[in-house]
Amino acid sequence: MTAQGENLLAWTTAAITRREQLAFDALSHGRAGRWIANGATVEIAPELVGPKDDAFEQTVAFNEGAPTEEQAEHIAANDPESVLRRCTADRKLLALHGGVAHHCPVFDDDGGHDAWVAFYDHETCPVIELLAEGYGFAAGQTSPSKGDQVT
């Protein structure tokens, strides 16, 4: 894999690690991994709450009317459990497409679909670029340099 491809792979791996750490940090503060929206409040899923827990202990997020119900749904949909599942799936995609020779479908320069393109272990597969984009790397952006920070 070229230095540019290695840097993008390393950057994406670091971004996944950062996202996992945020999810683990949320869990370590006593907030169970699956959350639900209850109106404008986000709470720990009822089956994960003990009988001695009061309403305050069950609450993950509220702020006197904010978040809105839609925001609460979004927060609950991105609970630690779902974040960790996504990170696990993304790591599997990195293993399949990063730094290994393989074939992969891509879009050519004209926007057409090429169903079977060979990528050598030194080439950056578009799947790696797409995964990086999901973690904040902008399409068309200069590939990260070694040591670039993940935010």
Report the pLDDT averaged over residues 46-65.
56
For the chain, what is the mean pLDDT?
77
Q: Is the four-CA dihedral 40, 42, 48, 49 of positive or negative sign?
A: negative
Is the model more confident about 51 or about 45?
45
Model's pTM, two decimal places?
Answer: 0.73
- Give the model's pLDDT for residue 36: 73
Other beta carbons within 10 angstroms of residue 60's beta carbon come to 20
Other beta carbons within 10 angstroms of residue 75's beta carbon come to 17
Q: Does residue 93 carry a pLDDT above 90?
A: yes
Beta bridge partners of 103: 118
Query: For residue 22, which amino acid is it?
Result: L
Q: In what order do the strands lie in the sheet with 59-61?
A: 35-38, 41-44, 59-61
Task: For 127-139, write each residue's pLDDT tens digit.
Answer: 999 999 999 987 6
